[in-house]
Amino acid sequence: MSDIIEVGNVPSTKNQYVTVRIAGQLFGLPIDAVHEVFVPEHVTRVPLAPKEVQGVLNLRGRIVTTIDLRQLLGLPPQDSDRKMAVGIEYKSESFGLIIDEVGEVLSLDEATREPCPPNLDPRWAELVEGVHRVSGELLLVLDVQASLAGVTAALAA
């Protein structure tokens, strides 16, 4: 969801992001892609699933495929058992993106978004739409479609 805000004669577009942390890195998920935040419980492993697929769970009567974003980003597993997930709908399927922690909702001006830095890990660059500078750190805008496209293709095969 975007709002058009007039600043002088130059229109400004604000995008809202749900902020999450994965291995200390700040990511932003477009708020219109996020349906809910939940604690994943009773995850059932799926035999022969891609390594990014942690498993499936029943969330209020819906089957949700859980995707480990650490694994997808090539990061080591989380040390703690405390996990959170962000609920996403993609191609009429429900997914839970496993994250380390959820932050706040930020409204950021689209004009301040920059392209990915050239030194960003290539695996990350495929999954990130751009970056914003927020309070002295980079917020990486996660491309939800790109993140799930590879996983869903592997699941369909």
Q: Are the C-beta atoms of 17 and 115 separated by less than 8 Å?
A: no
pLDDT in tens, 71-113: 999 999 887 777 899 999 888 899 999 999 999 999 999 999 9
Chain-centre distance of CA 54, in angstroms? 15
**In the beta sheet, which residues pair with residue 37?**
86
Residue 63 to residue 93: CA distance in whole angstroms = 9
Task: Dig out the tokens for 20 from the structure.
Answer: 């999450």
Beta carbons within 10 angstroms of residue 39's beta carbon = 9
* pLDDT in the model for residue 149: 87
Residue 138 to residue 133: CA distance in whole angstroms = 5
CA angle (57, 38, 30) in 5-degree steps: 110
Residue 157 has pLDDT above 70, yes or no: no
pLDDT in tens, 21-64: 999 999 999 999 999 999 998 999 999 889 999 999 999 999 99
**In the beta sheet, which residues pair with residue 19?**
28
* pLDDT in the model for residue 11: 55
Length of the chain measured in residues: 157
Looking at 2.70.70.10, 2.40.50.180, 3.40.1030.10, 1.20.272.10, the CATH number of the domain 2-156 comes to 2.40.50.180
